[in-house]
Amino acid sequence: MGHVTNPAIDAVQTEPAVRTGTAASTAPRPESAAGGGPPLRVSVVGTGYLGATHAACMAELGFEVLGLDIDQAKIDALTRGELPFHEPGLPELLTQHVQSGRLRFTTSYEEVGAWADVHFIGVGTPQKPGESAADLRFVDAAVRSLAEHITRDALIVGKSTVPVGTAARLKDLLASTRQAAGLPGTVELAWNPEFLREGYAVKDTLTPDRLVAGVESAHAEDILRQVYAKSLAEGTPWIATDFETAELVKVAANAFLATKISFINAFSEITEQVGGDIGTLADAIGHDPRIGRKFLNAGVGFGGGCLPKDIRALQARVSELGLDRTMRFLAEMDDINLRRRDRVVDLAVQVLSHSLHGSVRVAGADGAGSVPSPAAVEILNGAKIAILGVTFKPNSDDVRDSPALDVANRLYTAGAEVAVYDPKGNANAAKRFPRLGYVNTLAKAVIGADLLILLTEWDEFRQMDPEDIGRLMDRRTLIDARNVLDPSPWHAAGFTHAALGHRFAPDSSG
Ligand code: UDX
């Protein structure tokens, strides 16, 4: 253990695009287990975003799969081939493998316990309400329930993101529960973190960048190698290690990504004041292969179900370990990230005051935090603002911890009349903030607007025609909070253009 068996870690990945749909139905069955027995039977506990994706991808790899959830409605929907969230490529896999019978769903731990050789745990580990720490009750319940119902030799494999030390604790929980249950079979635990990105979850599961396995025996490693035989044959780096490293790999990766985004966004605060081009700065440092250009896109910052909660849970965990100062910089990263939202509200005030009153008013330094200053309220009150995008990133319908939705709500709270349009996210956003004004087309959002704010970089927004948009708006003003629009055609169409990471100087920019 502790070894990397594929040295090609820095190799450029040239994976073919993931095929889904009919073509993929030819996916071969996996080879028999090393001992020449039948292929492994796989269960996946938790059928949310991670679990449903993993279950469908395991079926795509040729395994017989049983997905388990305690939510009967979710199981019924999945059995009908219906997904409760948007993820490109996944509906096709689900339908195909449910129809073929290779992928089934159940609410019964008895059934999976008597049937599967490998049980993946893909339940959520959300942030505890009012705290930074992760809520582990679902993962604990899954391990306990499996331990109480498995009646044969099996491997339990945690995929959920957990604080370091959790797997060792769950190993003890597994042992004591098995002892009390007195059931036949030897059950072992392994930890195999996921790294899937929303919008690319199928690709990331079927052709991962790397596979990490926290294992305590050669047997556990062998089982996981059988599960991932196809990826391993294609050269995916395989890192077999201890529980602690496997747990930390996941949070370290997310902490690094969050830091990278906040790093460039901190420089945005400088260029916004002194001038300069944040995109060119990112390009220039990104050419250094030690730095790399990815995750240096300055904008309204990170959100979603992973990065924000994972950096908070990591700080909480290291504090528990008595290492309070170790991850203190992550609190700073979190602050930089949240300040970007303040900046958009501030910029809205500046752009509107310039457009409506001919002078640039600054909302004031007290703008930090989610409560708009009185100056901001005065300007924003009654202003018509088109909000383009509410999801935390494009190609997703997820609005969890979405910077875009937060900004929309702050503007609404300050008295603005917001017309919100997102290609996929309106329904989820409306559940969270029902009082915002939602519309179902881009055109309806911009009609009569005093200001347009692009908050999530969907292709539909990247491709907007400035003249078409300008004709519909009352005032030609725009804030690009994701830095994806070329300002020149917007200036040419008479727009006042502002962007994060750029000084707002309307009189010099047109
Ligand atoms: C992330 C990790 O990438 C993934 O490996 C992990 O398993 C789960 O968390 P995801 O939440 O799907 O995946 O989103 P990601 O693509 O990482 O983007 C996170 C956030 O950062 C988004 O809000 C995105 O808009 C923002 N972001 C990303 C930036 O603001 N700038 C960038 O340059 C990149």
Q: Is the CB of 119 under 6 A from ligand 1?
A: no
**Encoded tokens for 502:** 């750029």
Choose which residue among 86, 302, 407 to substitute to test ligand 1 binding: the one with the highest number of ligand atoms within 8 A of its C-beta: 302
Q: Is the CB of 303 under 6 A from ligand 1?
A: yes
* C-alpha 302 to ligand 1 mean position (Å): 6
Each residue of 433-478: pLDDT tens digit?
999 999 999 999 999 999 999 999 999 999 999 999 999 999 999 9
Number of CB atoms found within 10 A of residue 85's CB: 16
Q: Whose CA is nearest to atom 26 of ligand 1?
A: 302
The span from the CA of 42 to the CA of 62, in Å, is 10
pTM of structure: 0.91
Question: What is d(CA 96, CA 26) in angstroms, rounded to the nearest whole number?
Answer: 11
Residue nearest to atom 9 of ligand 1 (CA): 306
User: Is 295 near ligand 1, meaning CB less than 6 Å away?
Assistant: yes
The whole-angstrom separation of Cα 442 and Cα 224 is 47
| Nearest atom, ligand 1, residue 392 CA | 23
Pull the structure tokens for residue 74. Answer: 């979710």
Terminal Cα-to-Cα distance of the chain (whole angstroms): 62
Q: Cα(180)–Cα(471) distance, rounded to whole angstroms?
A: 72
Best residue among 205, 307, 314 to mutate for probing ligand 1's pocket (most ligand atoms within 8 Å of CB) is 307
Catalogue the active-site residues. 306
Q: Cβ of 174: how many Cβ atoms within 10 Å?
A: 20
The single-letter DSSP state of residue 206 is H
**59, HSE (Cβ side, Cα atoms, 13 Å):** 28
* Structural domains of the chain sorted by starting position, each given as residue range(s) with its CATH number in brackets: 3-11+28-241 (3.40.50.720), 253-333 (1.10.1040.10), 341-509 (3.40.50.720)
Give the residue, by CA position, lying nearest to ligand 1 atom 10.
197
Distance CA 67, CA 78 (A): 9
Residues of the chain with pLDDT under 70: 1-29, 31-36, 361-372, 507-510
Of the candidates 147, 152, 153, which has an alpha carbon nearest to the alpha carbon of residue 170? Answer: 147
Is the beta carbon of 264 within 6 A of some atom in ligand 1? no
Ligand 1 touching residue 299 (CB < 6 A) = yes
Residue 65: strand pairing partners? 42, 103
Please write the tens of the pLDDT for every residue from 210-240. Answer: 999 999 999 999 999 999 999 999 999 999 9
| Closest ligand 1 atom number to CA of residue 197 | 12
Nearest-CA residue for ligand 1 atom 14 is 197
Does the beta carbon of 410 sit less than 6 angstroms from any atom of ligand 1?
Answer: no
Is 261 close to ligand 1, i.e. is its CB under 6 Å away? Answer: yes
| Rounded CA separation 70/341 (Å) | 37
Closest CA to 451 of 408, 489, 509: 408
Q: How far is the CA of 163 from the centre of ligand 1 (A)?
A: 20
Q: Which helix (H) or strand (E) holds 412?
A: helix 403-413
DSSP assignment letter at 420 = E
* Residue 197 CA, ligand 1 centroid: distance in Å: 7
- As a whole number of angstroms, the distance between CA 185 and CA 43 comes to 17
Whether the CB of 333 sits within 6 Å of ligand 1: no
Q: Alpha-carbon distance 233 to 220, whole Å? A: 19
Tell me if 230 CB under 6 Å of ligand 1.
Answer: no
